[in-house]
Amino acid sequence: MTAQSASLAGLDLRAEIDRLRKEKNAVILAHYYQKPELQDLADFVGDSLELSRKAAETDADVIAFCGVKFMAEVAKILSPEKTVVLPDLNAGCSLEDACPPEKFKAFREAHPDHIAITYINCSTEVKALSDIIVTSSSAEKILSQIPRDQKIIFGPDRHLGGYLSRKFDREMLLWPGVCIVHEAFSETELLKLMAQHPGAPIAAHPECPPTIVDHADYVGSTSGILNYAKEMAADTLIVATEPHIIHQMQLAIPNKTFIGAPGADGNCNCNICPYMALNTLEKLYISLRDMTPQIEIEEGLRLKAKESLDRMLGMASGTVGMGDLGAR
């Protein structure tokens, strides 16, 4: 038992979090990749930008974001007047880590004739250096509006960028970042699972490598995969994304079977996001109790980052949160 858990022994954490939620006029957000106990007590569960937009529409004074740091930063960008807390400030993202702002700035300067279309999984600083931010649900609509003769840098996810490049037959300079969760899926183990469940469709996130995406019946964001699960005729679905989304599938469609795509060890445990896993009920309680750690963004940087987010919302507002990158 840690010192922290010992100090909280005997507390009804759910009751205390509910008390603090009311006392602080807080809204609690949980990404689909969070532990079920965090999803179950959240006011909203969803994809990152979708959650930030919903929180911005509330009259809450405080946003407690159970997700990762770049998501909480987006919430602050869209709701600067609200206090935004993140249960664990170390909850980062391998895609953000793979794209340091100073290196991205130098890369942009080396290719002045390119615009930067950047996946939302990046730091506020990289957003401020970008022309247009995209989500996995808005990327196609936005890319379809960019003239074919316009040269493009796409970062930080080379798998999402590669998927879009292949689908649209457009050459793009791809930043070499990957999501460590989606990179962990094994094609060999997936083929074994497909043989065990013949006819079961596969839904994959476009952050997966081509060896996984090429087997998918549906490719889309986490929200899109959930929608596909609800609408599909099949009674079994193989899910190639972080496995905690399956909790929402089981709640929404309890009569269907959902199987997490395996990693190299033959199970889906290696595909649990280690950053998302840092958030716990205990840390959420403490963050609401103490109003820490808070997300702070310098105003000039916030406004510059918001420009690239606003361009996305202007170009593809009808698709953000819809989750659909298209069935094949």
Task: List, for residues 274-317, the tens digit of each pLDDT value.
Answer: 999 999 999 999 999 999 999 999 999 999 999 999 999 999 87
Q: Which two tokens stand for residue 192?
A: 């074994």
Beta strand 151-155 pairing with 218-220: unpaired
Residue 118 has, within 13 A of its CA and on its CB side, a CA count of: 32
The pTM of this model reads 0.92
In which band, very low, low, confident or very high, does the pLDDT at 70 lie, cut at 50, 70 and 90?
very high
| Separation CA 197–CA 137 (nearest Å) | 28
Residue 236 has, within 13 A of its CA and on its CB side, a CA count of: 11
Could you tell me which of 291, 279, 242 has the C-alpha nearest to residue 84?
Answer: 291
Alpha helix segments (H runs only) across 138-260: 139-143, 158-168, 180-183, 187-196, 210-213, 222-231, 245-252
Task: List, for residues 230-255, the tens digit of each pLDDT value.
Answer: 999 999 999 999 999 999 999 999 99
Does an H or E element contain 324, and which? strand 324-327
pLDDT at 316: 84
Collapse the DSSP code of 263 into the 3-class scheme (helix H, G, I; strand E, B; otherwise coil) and give the result: strand
| Separation CA 163–CA 133 (nearest Å) | 17
**9: Cβ–Cβ under 8 A, 6 or more apart, which residues?**
1
CB-based burial, 229-257: b 16+ in 10 Å, e otherwise: beebeeeebbbbbbbbbbbbbeeebeeee
pLDDT at 226 over 70: yes
